[in-house]
Amino acid sequence: MLQPINVSLESLNLITLAPMLIAVAGGLIILILDLINGKLHKSLYVMLTILVLVVDFGATLGLNVNERGFFDVMLIDGVSIVSQLLIIVASIIFTPLALTSKRFHEYSYPEFFALFLFMVAGFQFMVASDNLILIFVGLETASLALYTLIALHNRSNSYEAAVKYFTMGALAAGFFAMGSAVIYGLTGSIELYRVADVLAARMNETGLMIAVFGSAVLLLVAFAFKLSLFPFHTWAPDVYEGASAPLAGYMSVVPKVAAFVVSIRIFGMYIDLGVEWVRIVIIVLAVLTMTLANVMALVQEDVKRMLAYSSISHAGFIIAALALDTTEGTTAIFFYYALFMFTNLGAFTMLWISRHKVRRFDARYDHPYEKFAGMISIRPVGAVIMAIFMLSLAGVPPFSVFWGKIYVMQAAVNSGYVWLAVVMGLNSAIAAYYYLKLVVYMFLKEPVKDVDTVQYNSSKPLMAVVGFATLATVAAIFYVQPLVSYIYYMISASGY
Amino acid sequence: MENILSILVFFPAIAGLLGFVVDKESARAYGITVAAIEFLLSVWLWFSFDTANAGMQFVELIPIIPDFGISYYLGVDGISLFIILMATLMTLIGMMSMSITENIKNMIITLLFLEMTMVGVFVSLDAIIFYLFWELSLVPMLYIIGAWGGPLRVYAAVKFFLYTFTGSLIMLVGMLFVAYVYHNLTGVWSFAITDWYALVLPVNYQLWLFAAFFVGFAIKVPMFPFHTWLPYAHGQAPTIGSVILAAVLLKMGTYGFVRFSLPMFPDASVMAIMPIAALSIVMIIYTAMVAYAQKDMKQVIAYSSVSHMGIIMLGIFAMNAEGISGSVFQMLSHGIVSGALFMLVGVIYDRRHTKLMSEFGGLASVMPKYAVIFGIMLMASVGLPLTIGFVGEFLVLLGFYHVSPVLTALAGTSIIIGAIYMLTLFKKSFFGPVTNEANKTLKDLSSKETWSLVPLVLIVVWLGVYPKPVLAPIDNSVKAMLAFMDAKAITQEAKDMIKVSKTTLNRGEVK
């Protein structure tokens, strides 16, 4: 006779699931609405999505720090709250970009918004757990939704991008599963806090290091794919190019934040266990990623591809902070992304505004540099805003990314990695060249074509997003203090 | 008005923002008015400045990011006071004499933002705020060179930006490291320079940090062998760009040495005397020779500019009151004189659209007023007694004589070589018969040009004859700084090298 298992509802602590459930329910509501009336305008769905995300934001903000729920599968610590908030804010900024003045294929399907909300829920699951299976489920939910969103753009190169991303994603998922399997084989557990305990106890056994090495390498490869670290970054520029500009901007922030959280949990564990070469490998990867991505960005002819390489390089910058494994280093990751998010989404929105149905400047590229030539005389305000985004990305003070940069560099210096800070500084200098190239085109060259080229797709919601991003970029100095103290508090509260 | 420094910093920026509304036709008048008000404000600052006090005055301190230890911290002492005055004056005069008509509104707005960053650099007492203005000053200059410059303008502008940006990022790492050390010793984060002064660092730390700051400042000065961006920048920049670049932006580098390197790393600075002196001598003699070989008037002045910056560097590392005060004074005189010379070259370029000396000859008979003013400025540049150029150069050489008579003698050749290339330039362009037909009908200085240049001539003569009102406050602050460095130095060589004059020690509080 099987004993019935009694589970009290209180012990499940369902509130920890609330944010994800809100997002999933929102997605379902959108699908149901579409069933009832198929002729609703996309603006309705956009606003509904934003509202759902706002509720989601509120629910996340209200969570208590350091709680577990649902058979201890859910883990709500400071890292997961901060990262969920980042994910939701980025999603809220992203959503209104559907309201372009020109019609684009993907937004005519309500499924786009439902998928989008499912994806957000997937990322939230991914960051709110230290159970390798739930992380995997969250990762795959989010990724499959994301592949579909890319393909919905309905262009030949977006199919290419989606398939490429899918293939690489599947490969990464395979590595992740195998890495998890090795961990399970070693410790008999898939919950990281138990894994850490068991490994700590068995650390002295002979021959164990090879297995630890194996699991770490497999997981490192999986996350190097997700974070687009060298040498697993090659998919990124093509995928960014094929995806629509807003989605590319989104991909450079949200999936990476989620992957960073999991990396902090997994590789932080290895480093805490004293497996020093994980730290070394990550630092080497970080230096290679930022340097090589910067060098490759120099020769790009398309602004979007340039921004893709620049995102890779920024990811390399931040992964270095992860290797430090200090409270400051971990804070730096979220702080950097919080600041980078506004600027980067702003820059991709500017590309989106200038997007044409047909390629008017180049047979191959949507956004060649020539497109922005002489923008100062066509759209002075737009040119100044774009220049501010570029200077911010280059790390010119007082714009937002600068503060993230000095925080990361300070964290490196504080941990004794002065040379790393110098490498970061030199990389910023290399990066300045390609950001400056766009500024030079906009300010110092003559326009190639006539007036409508750079604001073709403009609409009030898009302008509002750009305005908000500009404000957040320029006025960073005024909110850096509350932001950094909040993140630092949350991170230290969860013990990283 | 205790917050006059904030007003000085943000007035041009706000004026720049409002300038977007001003009509294109009136932009020039608007810019000149704003620059004039800014100049009057800085003169007011001078009059309310207590010359007997060697420490920081008009201090403002508002914490912005306490978790990082970054605060909005401004202050001015005798060293920075006159550089600020010079910056506002040169911006005003540069604007008055400006001959650009294309996109004039953009130019005015850019110049006003540039003025904010220039004043900001010299009044910041917080390293990050300093860095902020320092980096921000690159952007307007990039635009000025890139948009209004010569045929190679984009190359020159980007080269200028990248060179300086790279150097300052290394400097930034240095700053972060100092903050880290400060945090380790005191448990508090702080980027305030005055807090950093209190740090007594081990010599090997000092050497590394000195090197990090050196890269940032030396590229800006520009020290040999980092000077290669400067001839391009000057060669391609419009007149106003060259004036501001030579007069103010280069001074940021030398000012940085005085404000950061010397008081923070006294032992490392003393150890660096000989290497820096060697570089400076090379810079003085080599670029002077290069200047002689130029065919283009503007390039002559650009290279002479580098050569004179060498004199300033030499004075700073003399480690005594004469040398450093002389250097600060030379910063002012070089700002005014080279600014004026660039304006003068601009005058002839506007008329003939060429700067090649071979195109000219006999200009003195066609343009007498022009020739007189050019002559005076040229003499000041060479360092003729009773002009502003003599005071600084003499003091620097006097100061460095205590360090090394031989090197001083070598540096002294700069006056001779300077006289050679400057007088050759003057001879080729102004004397002899008018050979080129196009030059026969050239107009002499217009009233706009005269009114811009005459004030500079007056200053050159006034401060050349009676430099005391400016030199005394500078000297006061410099002596206080030297006394402080001497007290702080840990090695005996440094203590021996740093010459403290006992006379002024009791005057004024040391930081």
Instruction: Express each pLDDT in B129-168 by its tens digit.
Output: 999 999 999 999 999 998 888 888 889 999 999 999 999 9
Mutate to test the interface with A, among B139, B169, B170 (most CBs of A within 10 A): B169
CB contact under 8 A, A397 and B154: no
Does residue B112 contact residue B31 with C-beta atoms inside 8 Å? Answer: yes
CB contact under 8 A, A397 and B166: no
CB contact under 8 A, A418 and B173: yes
Residues 6 or more apart whose Cβ sits within 8 Å of residue A73: A129, A131, A134
Does residue A312 contact residue A289 with C-beta atoms inside 8 Å? Answer: yes
Query: Among positive and negative, which fits the CA dihedral B259, B261, B265, B267?
Result: negative
- What span, in angstroms and rounded, lies between the C-alpha atoms of B248 and B90? 8
Query: Among positive and negative, which fits the CA dihedral B282, B285, B288, B294?
Result: negative
Cα A164 from chain centre: 18
Mutate to test the interface with A, among B154, B176, B204 (most CBs of A within 10 A): B176
Q: How many helices (H) and strands (E) does chain B have?
A: 24, 2
Enumerate the residues of chain B whose CB falls inside 8 A of the CB of residue A480: 64-65, 68
Please indicate if any CB of chain A lies within 8 Å of the CB of B442. Answer: no
Kindly write down the DSSP assignment for every residue of B116-133, as one continuous string: HHHHHHHHB-BHHHHHHH
Tokens of A2: 């099987």
- What span, in angstroms and rounded, lies between the C-alpha atoms of A94 and A109? 17
Q: Which of B432, B433, B390, B435 is nearest to B414 (CA)?
A: B390
Q: What does the DSSP 8-state code read for residue A368? A: B
Question: What pLDDT is recorded for position A331?
Answer: 92
Please indicate if any CB of chain A lies within 8 Å of the CB of B67. Answer: yes
| Residue B170 C-alpha, separation from nearest chain A C-alpha, in angstroms | 6
Question: What pLDDT is recorded for position B502?
Answer: 54
Give the angle subtended at the CA of B471 by the CAs of B465 and B472, to the nearest 5°. 120
Q: What is the mean pLDDT of chain B?
A: 88
> From chain A, which residues contact B within 8 Å (Cβ)?
376, 391, 394-398, 403, 406-407, 409-410, 413-414, 418, 421-422, 425-426, 428-429, 432-433, 436, 439-440, 443-445, 477-478, 480-481, 484-485, 488
CB contact under 8 A, A406 and B172: yes
Search chain B and give the residue with CA nearest A419: B173
Q: Which of B77, B7, B498 is nearest to B255 (CA)?
A: B77
Question: What pLDDT is recorded for position A135?
Answer: 92
- What span, in angstroms and rounded, lies between the C-alpha atoms of B305 and B299? 9
Search chain A and give the residue with CA nearest B182: A414
Of B139, B170, B176, the CB nearest to A396: B139
Does residue A173 contact residue A222 with C-beta atoms inside 8 Å? Answer: yes
CB contact under 8 A, A481 and B67: yes
Instruction: Express each pLDDT in B221-246 by its tens digit.
Output: 888 888 888 888 988 899 999 999 99
Please indicate if any CB of chain A lies within 8 Å of the CB of B143. Answer: yes
Identify residue B282 by its one-letter amino acid code. Answer: V
Please indicate if any CB of chain A lies within 8 Å of the CB of B154. Answer: yes
CB contact under 8 A, A436 and B65: no
Strand, coil or helix: what is A125?
helix
Tokens of A49: 């999505």
Q: Which of B113-117, B187-191, B354-358 has the lowest mean pLDDT?
A: B354-358
Search chain B and give the residue with CA nearest A381: B20
Enumerate the residues of chain B whose CB falls inside 8 A of the CB of residue A485: 67
Of A432, A444, A484, the CB nearest to B165: A432
Please indicate if any CB of chain A lies within 8 Å of the CB of B17. Answer: no
Mutate to test the interface with B, among A439, A479, A483, A489 (most CBs of B within 10 A): A439
Q: Which of B391, B396, B399, B400 is nearest to B471 (CA)?
A: B391
Task: Cis check for the bond before B225: say yes or no (omega within 30 of 0).
Answer: yes
Tokens 């403290």 found at: B500
CB contact under 8 A, A398 and B132: yes
Q: How confident is the model at residue B509 (pLDDT cuts 50, 70, 90)?
A: very low
Tokens of B95: 């604007």
Q: What does the DSSP 8-state code read for residue A66? A: S
Q: What predicted TM-score, i.e. pTM, was given to this entire model? A: 0.91
- What span, in angstroms and rounded, lies between the C-alpha atoms of A315 and A399? 19
- What span, in angstroms and rounded, lies between the C-alpha atoms of A32 and A29? 5
* Half-sphere exposure in the Cβ direction for A234 (13 Å, CA): 5
Residues 6 or more apart whose Cβ sits within 8 Å of residue B386: B461, B464, B465
Q: For chain A, what's the residue count?
A: 496
Kindly write down the DSSP assignment for every residue of A196-241, as one continuous string: HHHHHHHTTSTTHHHHHHHHHHHHHHHHHHHTT-TTS-THHHHHHH
Question: What pLDDT is recorded for position A1?
Answer: 63
Residues 6 or more apart whose Cβ sits within 8 Å of residue A375: A382, A383, A386, A441, A442, A443, A447, A454
Mutate to test the interface with A, among B64, B117, B170, B180 (most CBs of A within 10 A): B180
Question: What pLDDT is recorded for position A449?
Answer: 66
Question: What pLDDT is recorded for position B484?
Answer: 87
- What span, in angstroms and rounded, lies between the C-alpha atoms of B211 and B214? 5
Enumerate the residues of chain B whose CB falls inside 8 A of the CB of residue A406: 68, 128, 172, 176
Question: What pLDDT is recorded for position B506?
Answer: 42
What count of CB pairs under 8 Å joins A to B? 94
- What span, in angstroms and rounded, lies between the C-alpha atoms of B116 and A16? 51
Tokens of B88: 């506002």
CA separation, residue B257 to residues B43, B276, B319, B455, B471 (Å): 25, 12, 12, 30, 19
Question: What pLDDT is recorded for position B504?
Answer: 47
Q: pLDDT of chain A along its 496 residues, tens only? A: 677 777 777 777 778 888 999 999 999 999 999 999 888 888 889 999 999 999 999 999 988 888 888 778 888 888 999 999 999 999 999 999 888 877 787 888 888 999 999 999 999 999 999 899 999 999 999 999 999 999 888 888 888 889 999 999 999 999 999 999 999 988 888 888 888 888 888 877 777 888 888 889 999 999 999 899 988 888 899 999 888 889 999 999 999 999 999 999 999 888 888 888 889 999 999 999 999 999 999 998 889 999 999 999 999 989 999 988 888 899 999 999 999 999 999 999 998 888 877 777 777 788 888 888 888 888 888 888 999 999 999 988 889 999 999 999 999 999 989 999 999 999 999 999 999 999 988 888 888 766 556 677 788 888 899 999 999 999 998 999 999 999 999 999 887 7
Identify residue A46 by its one-letter amino acid code. Answer: V
CB contact under 8 A, A433 and B162: yes
CA separation, residue B417 to residues B340, B411, B423, B482 (Å): 20, 10, 10, 32
The ipTM assigned to this model is: 0.88
Question: What pLDDT is recorded for position A461?
Answer: 87
CB contact under 8 A, A481 and B170: no
Identify residue B415 by its one-letter amino acid code. Answer: I
Q: What does the DSSP 8-state code read for residue B228? A: T
Search chain A and give the residue with CA nearest B71: A477
Instruction: Express each pLDDT in B381-403 by its tens digit.
Output: 988 888 888 888 899 999 998 88
CB contact under 8 A, A429 and B162: yes
Domain boundaries, chain A: 12-493
Mean pLDDT of B478-488: 87
Tokens of A25: 């329910």
Please indicate if any CB of chain A lies within 8 Å of the CB of B389. Answer: no
| Residue B65 C-alpha, separation from nearest chain A C-alpha, in angstroms | 5
Of B135, B153, B180, the CB nearest to A396: B135
Instruction: Express each pLDDT in B436-451 by its tens digit.
Output: 888 888 888 888 888 8
Of A391, A418, A481, the CB nearest to B65: A481
Of A428, A433, A477, the CB nearest to B169: A428
Question: What pLDDT is recorded for position B507?
Answer: 43
